[in-house]
Chains A and B, each alone.
Chain A
Amino acid sequence: MTTTTTLERRPAAVSLGAASRRSGHWQRVTRRATPYLLILPALVVYAVFTAYPVFRQFEISFFNWHIFPGASNPFVGLSNYTKAFEDPNVRTAAFNSFLWIVVTVPLEMAIGLFAAAVLADRLPGSALWRAAVYIPVVTSWVVVSWVFSYIFASQGGIANGVLGFFAGHTESIDWTARTWTGNGVMWLLTIWKGIGWAFIIFLAALDGVPRDLAEAARIDGASEPRVWSNVVIPSIRAAIAFVTVMLVIGAAQTFAQVYLVTSGGPYNSTQTLMSYMRQQAFIDFAFGYAAAIGSVLALVLIGFSWVEIHVLRQQDL
């Protein structure tokens, strides 16, 4: 009707094929151009608003950049990069970022998968449980960082209250003030907030697990854990890889929580790469330096993701 053209008057596929074969030069051009036209709007927006700033930022990393427009920005080549590799603070921050990844990602995935396993099949109130597990993901970092600060407040926080109740502690722990408990609180916060995300991906992934295979395995007498390790997990391999990549990237980019919960303290011992970068850029005004650190981090993450995606693609085929 209104959406059909003259070529589509007849619905049968065969004659249609003939019609398009009979189509002229213009039709072929349109056809070949279509994919490019389709991806063009998104690419343009992306190129302008993300890609270009990224290049600028990369460019800045090679200069000793000053804010004031018109000020001379001496080209310093790779010295920002060498400085980054020699800076002990970078090492601490990189170590913290690494720890962050190693601690939070596996736990988020494990608990997320567990939650998905629990909620994969119907339950009374399914929608409610699923919503409950996912909601932390959509909350604001600022808000939950403060809530967690409260829970772990050294005096009057619930955490200490609970500890006191169970363990008879009269001395309360100053959670956010010491390095390791401070890290612990932030990790807990990150894990709490990330579980729902892994959960929802895994939930969808579990949906695609071949039920008959699982049932066949059970009939053959396999125990439930066996069914899982031999049937379920392999069939959600791709989802696992995907979630890993995304969570790692997310963990490497943590910044807000550090800022809010411990302010990077006890000074600089809980800084992650992102928060250290920000400090260098916006408090110490060392933009070129911060950009260099950022570029290195980005390259590492891209490398990691590239590897993971290749693994994913192999299995996709």
Chain B
Amino acid sequence: MAQRSKQNQSRASYRPGLYGTRPRTRLRLVLAIALALLSLGPLLYMLMLSFQSNGDIQGEVVLIPSHPTTSNYVQAWSENSFGHYFANSLFIAFATVVITVALASLAAFGFARYKFPGRELIFYTFLASLAIPNVLLLIPQYLLMDRLHLLDSLLGLVLLYTSSNLPFMVFLLRGFFAAIPREYEEAFRLDGASTLRVVLRLIAPLSLPAIALVSMFTFSAAWDEFPLALTMLDTPSKFTLPIGLSDFIGEHTTAWGQFFAGSVIATLPVVIVFLVTQRWSRSGVSLGGLR
């Protein structure tokens, strides 16, 4: 019954499941719920904590707040220029995504579709940087930004983030582009399609899941970054959200309720970006060379 309805879907999108004729749906559903609870558990706990006033938080085992209040959210947002930090982070994250996707797509395409001397060497050197601990790059990068007059600028951060995201994104996209069979393109052309058609009808739709994935990784990396942002920025109005969050953790006292409320606010955009990109990368995504 369930099988048949699956088969009745449009032929073009029908794909037999991994489990074939015995999908074990019920078992998998139970496991799925368990996994989801384990994953979301701590976050739900954080949500609970955010609705507790500061005095109630420490020292008590509380799952459900005894006196739930939204004051933490109000305070977090209004008191500490949170809105400002939010906007700054948003700008930085978006700009990073745009530039990273553009540069990474170009480079990945170059690596994937062309053979040229030095290709492997450059590519793997590029990749090697992933292994380098970037805790220590702080000072050389600061000195560099100083010389480029990019200190205390959001744009400077964007460039730094782009640079650190490029290796991984190029790697992902290269695998992806390499896996788009040229036969598809040939087929389209033999059918008489113009270049524009090829790009719009073939490459773009196929690329979308990969671009979505890359965008999401880049966005969340840029959104959460803290050490570079803190070191490079001096003007308080330019500070980013992670810096704003850490404001709640004082030297002697900490505003836990507001911290967790702020954390919830800070986590929402990344989750939204994730859900949006999920829509674009439904089951069709194959990560090329990772298969």
Contact = CB atoms under 8 A, between A and B. Distances in A.
A39 B133 contact: no
Interface string A106-121: 0000000001011111
Interface stretch (A18-26, A46-54, A261-269): A46-54
A249 interface: yes
A235 B245 contact: no
Given A156-B60, A316-B289, A274 B133 contact: yes
A232 B19 CA distance: 11
B43 A49 contact: no
A8 B189 CA distance: 12
Consensus secondary structure, chain A interface: helix
B135 A277 contact: yes
B39 A133 contact: yes
Contact of B271 (A45, A129, A135, A255): A135
A27 to B, nearest CB: 15
A135 B135 contact: no
A143 B245 contact: yes
B209 to A, nearest CB: 9
Contacts of B132: 54, 294, 298, 301-302
How extensive is the interface on chain B, given as a class? 35 or more
Contacts of B15: 211
A35 B195 CA distance: 19
B263 A287 contact: no
Contacts of A124: 25, 29
Nearest to B130: A249
A118 B35 contact: yes
Contact of A146 (B190, B259, B287): B259
B17 interface: yes
Interface string B138-182: 011101100000000000000110111011001000000000000
Contacts of B249: 146
B110 A39 contact: yes
Contacts of B163: 45-46, 48-50
A155 B283 CA distance: 45
A305 interface: yes
A228 B69 CA distance: 50
B40 A135 contact: yes
B126 interface: yes
A277 B133 contact: yes
A195 interface: yes
A133 B128 CA distance: 29
Q: Which of B127, B190, B291 has the most CB atoms of chain A within a 10 A radius of its CB?
A: B291
Given A123-B25, A309-B124, A294 B133 contact: yes
A309 B126 CA distance: 13
Contacts of A37: 110
B58 A156 contact: yes
Contact of B291 (A34, A151, A153, A205): A205
Contact of B130 (A153, A205, A305): A305
Contacts of B289: 238, 316
B278 A130 contact: yes
Contact of A41 (B106, B141, B266): B106
B97 to A, nearest CB: 13
B190 A13 contact: yes
17 contacts: A1-B194, A45-B163, A56-B143, A120-B17, A131-B275, A135-B39, A135-B271, A148-B42, A205-B290, A208-B286, A208-B291, A211-B18, A214-B18, A236-B291, A239-B290, A294-B132, A297-B133
Interface of A: 1, 3-4, 8, 11-13, 32, 34-39, 41-43, 45-46, 48-54, 56-57, 60, 115, 117-125, 127-144, 146-148, 150-151, 153, 155-158, 160-161, 192, 195-196, 201, 204-209, 211-212, 214-215, 218, 232, 235-236, 238-239, 242, 246, 249, 252-253, 255, 273-274, 277-278, 281, 287, 290-291, 294, 297-298, 301-302, 304-306, 309, 316
Which 4 pairs between the two chains have the least Cβ-Cβ distance?
Answer: A38-B110, A49-B163, A301-B131, A35-B114
